[in-house]
Amino acid sequence: MKRGSLAARLVAAFLEDLDEQVRSMDDALLALEADPSHGESLRALFRAAHTLKGAARAAGLPRVEEACHALESRLAEVQAGAVALGADAFRSLFSAVDALREAGVRIRAGEALDDAAIARLPELLREHGLAFAPAAALAPLPEAPEPEPPPAEAPPAERAEGRVRVETEKLDDLLASAGQLVIARGRVVDRAEEARSFGELCARLEGRHRRAARVARAALERAGAAPEAAQAFAALEEELRGIVREAARLASAATLDARALSQVTDEVTGRVHRLRLRPFRDACEALPRAVRDVADAAGKEARLTVSGGEVEADRVVIDGLREALLHLVANAVDHGIEPPDERARRGKPRAGTLAVTAAVRGGRMVVTVADDGRGVDLEAVREALRRRGRPVPEDERELVRALFSGGLSTREQVTRISGRGVGLDAVRAAMERIRGTAELTWRPGEGTTFTLESPLTLATLRVLVVRVGDHLLALPTGAVESLARVRPEAVLRAEGRDLVTLGGEPVPLVPLARVLGPPVREAPAQGSFVAAVLRAGGRRLAAVIDAPLVEKEVVIRPIERREGPLPHLSGAAILSSGDVALVLDPATVVEAGSTLAGGAPLALAESGPAASVRLRVLVVDDSITTRTLEQSTLEAAGYEVAVAVDGAEGWRRVQEGGFDLVISDVEMPNLGGFQLCETIRASQRFTNLPVILVTSLDAPEHRARGMEAGADAYIGKSGFDQQGLLETVRQLIG
């Protein structure tokens, strides 16, 4: 092995050790400051300094070695019991730990340590770093023994807890490969669905031919045709039956292969995701020290509690939460928690309480940061906005939301801790990077609670794919409250804004194309239109789209920014069809859309002369989301659509007449899809009305039941997409 390579490996090993030992030193110092008589904490400090000194020597880092030796010497004096630690001494020891942490940052960046804090640490510790108080209750401790050297060769199985370190880049590469497997799985599933649809088409054609052949044979017999003609029909029928059997066999084999690939894909991606999981406690490692430092600088007392540390999320999510939490706890101690004397006057404990809690709700990570301080001073927020010449919202929610914008602080003077208006803006930015949100609630005089919500992983995402113009866009389903069909007369224009009433509340209405801007073009809405109702950051927005297409789980790919930022985009997804859908960031879309709703009125197409008669389709489903999705898909393709909420209403609508096709769910109240189909087939008037069953009941026995009921096509919702539905409809009615 080359010497240069060995040196680099030794430095890399030292840096890993440094990270671990610095965390241990922080924890030990915090415990020792809380209880100066806690001997084990002092021994832990001594061991960490001694370990780092040896590691620095092996890695050829003399500056770090000298600093650790000086720290070790001072700790040895304390360990001897001759002196006790005072407040200034603790500040110096924390500064020493910070100097070691900074040294690690510089070494990773390839920077010299000559002018770093680590270079001055030995002198500072000798001169005034440990301003010792007179000896107190600290009992003498035995000399810490030199650690025994490790065995020359330790088998890998003997590693602590059976764990090995894996470079994050390798995990990222593995995740990317798993993502390709997910895309391939989607394509195989689509091909299996196409094979199944083809098999059903063959069966329908064979059935039609069989019925036509019976009529033809009867006519030939009446005409006295030779027996050879009937035999030719019989031979053709047998050949068609063979084609149907082979198509069914291929479809069944493709379905089995797709299921097997799906199972393997789920196992592989699940294992890769589990490899990337980290506990929430990792995001909280630096919080005790941060609370201690801010409280010390602000002359306050604060106690921190963390619960839910065992909750796991993707490494990227944990890193984003770590950044947000550091800003939030500093903000809580500096702005929220009152000074001890003020708290005492209000009947509160002198020490403020800061509680950080994590939980999983609805498949998402939810973190709360709550303090028992003074709450939000709304008048101070208004004054801060006035000082900066910004508009002051009347609504309290909008007023508090302004705190998350950059450059706004309720502090009139800049301190080392706060005053520049960066903290909460940094929280917002950190949460946006992990596709999360941050919200704030408070009780005057009682405390403030920040709620952070994010997905558990950023590798895959469940999205609703929609079409806007010529573009495919993906909206995270966690932010899609509902799909709404809006009639032009339901659009309100109030205070220069387009609004639509949803759930009893006015919601800003704006075309999604207007939010995104060029090259996405805004087209006038034709008659009633579909809006995706988004919710993010406590706001709602009805974003007008051309059509919803399909809901599915996708792998998110980063977007290369070649020409400046790409607003409102968080990535791209390759669909199983090979098309690329741009993944939107709901938080920025809602924020921008709420502003743009006050722009030009929604463009509505003028009603022209009566159009030619369109084919009419009846959609029967008890799910409003599914009804809206199918209705929008069909109307965008030029069909006239009516809807019914269950089979009983569907049968009443069928009897009214005028429909060319029925698309029905299977599991519905009052009258199910199988029964509706059987009722239609039993009716002499509507026996030839085509029926498509679309359902989540996708097992072979359910398909067989559907075909027995007389369905012309059976589409499983697991394989449902816009194009598949439209192709089936066109095959049946054109």
pLDDT digits (tens, 9 = 90+) for 385-403: 888 778 787 777 778 777 7
pLDDT at 147: 43
pTM confidence score: 0.58
Claim to verify: residue 57 and residue 189 sit in the same structural domain: no
Residue 476 bridge partners (DSSP)? 463
Q: Is the pLDDT of residue 191 over 70?
A: yes
Is pLDDT at 176 greater than 60 in this prediction? yes
The CATH code of the domain that includes 700 is: 3.40.50.2300
Cα gap 373→527, rounded to integer Å: 53
Provide the pLDDT confidence category of residue 3 given band limits of 50, 70 and 90. Answer: very low
- What 3-state class would DSSP assign to 394? coil
d(CA 578, CA 383): 53
pLDDT value at position 151?
41
**592 and 641: one domain?**
no
**What type of residue is 336?**
G
User: Tokens 């301190």, residue?
Assistant: 415
> In this structure, what are the phi and psi dihedrals at residue 605, rounded to the nearest 5 degrees?
-70, 135
> What range does the domain containing 361 cover?
285-455
Q: What is the pLDDT of residue 353?
A: 95
What is the predicted pLDDT for the residue at 408? Answer: 65
The pLDDT, as a whole number, for residue 257 is: 87
Residues 35-46, mean pLDDT to the nearest whole number:
81
Q: Are 710 and 681 in contact (CB under 8 A)?
A: yes
Q: What is the pLDDT of residue 329?
A: 92
Give the pLDDT of residue 150.
42
Whether 520 and 544 have beta carbons less than 8 Å apart is answered as: no
Judge if 364 and 440 occupy the same domain.
Answer: yes
Q: Reduced to 3 states, what is the DSSP secondary structure of residue 439?
A: strand
**301 and 440 inside one domain:** yes
Helices of type H across 132-167: none
Residue 242: inside a domain: yes
Residue 459 pLDDT exceeds 60: yes
Statement to judge: residues 362 and 495 lie in one domain = no
* 165 inside domain: no
Phi, psi of 197 (to 5 degrees): -65, -40
Domain shared by 424 and 572, yes or no: no
pLDDT of residue 603: 61
In a domain, 152, yes or no: no
In a domain, 164, yes or no: no
The pLDDT of 621-641, averaged and rounded, is 82
| Residue 600: per-residue pLDDT | 61
Listed in sequence order, the DSSP H helices in 277-422 are 287-298, 315-331, 340-345, 378-387, 396-401
Of 277, 300, 321, the residue at which a domain comes to its end is: 277
Residues 249 and 319 in one domain: no
Per-residue pLDDT, averaged over 620-649, amounts to 84
333-386: per-residue pLDDT in tens?
988 899 999 999 999 999 999 999 999 987 789 999 999 999 888 888 888 888
pLDDT over 50 (residue 607): no
The per-residue pLDDT of the chain, averaged, comes to 79
Residue 561 has pLDDT above 90, yes or no: no
Half-sphere exposure of 576 (CA within 13 A, CB side): 23
Residues 571 and 623 occupy one common structural domain: no
Distance CA 337, CA 300 (A): 8
The pLDDT tens digits of the residues spanning 475-498 come to 988 888 888 888 888 888 877 778
Q: Are residues 74 and 133 in the same domain?
A: yes
Closest CA to 365 of 442, 291, 277: 277
Q: Which CATH number does the domain housing residue 348 bear?
A: 3.30.565.10
Which of 729, 717, 550, 544 minimizes the C-alpha distance to 641? Answer: 729
Count the domains in the chain. 5
Per residue in 266-320, pLDDT (tens digit) is 788 778 777 888 999 999 988 998 898 889 888 999 999 999 999 999 888 998 9
State both tokens at 23.
Answer: 């965390």
Residue 129 has pLDDT above 80, yes or no: no
Q: Quick one: 76 and 106 in the same domain?
A: yes
Rounded mean pLDDT, 695-724: 76
Pick the residue with more confidence: 325 or 433?
325
Whichever domain contains 96, its CATH number is: 1.20.120.160
If DSSP codes are grouped into helix, strand and coil, which group holds residue 349? coil
Banded pLDDT at 136 (limits 50, 70, 90) = very low
701 and 648 within one domain: yes
The answer to the question of residue 451 being in a domain is: yes
Task: Report the alpha-carbon distance of residue 479 to residue 537 in Å, rounded.
Answer: 10
Q: Please give the pLDDT value at position 5.
A: 67
Nearest 5°: CA angle at 219, between 218 and 222? 85
Q: Are 647 and 620 in contact (CB under 8 A)?
A: yes
Indicate whether 603 belongs to any domain. Answer: no
Chosen domain end from 224, 255, 277: 277
284 versus 159: the higher-pLDDT residue is 284
For residue 610, being part of any structural domain is answered with no
- Shared domain for 187 and 260, answered yes or no, is yes
* 3-class DSSP state of 503: coil
Model confidence band, residue 571 (pLDDT cutoffs 50, 70, 90): confident
Determine, yes or no, domain membership for 26: yes
Which residue, 423, 455, 487, sits at the end of a domain?
455
Residue, of 567 and 161, whose pLDDT is higher: 567
Question: Is the confidence at residue 564, as pLDDT, over 50?
Answer: no
Choose between 297 and 39: higher pLDDT.
297
Which pLDDT value is given to residue 267?
82
pLDDT above 60 (res 723): yes
Torsion angle (degrees, nearest 10) of CA 223, 228, 230, 231: 170
Summarize the confidence of residues 603-617 as an average pLDDT. Answer: 59
* Interval 136-163 mean pLDDT: 42
d(C-alpha 140, C-alpha 163), whole Å: 37
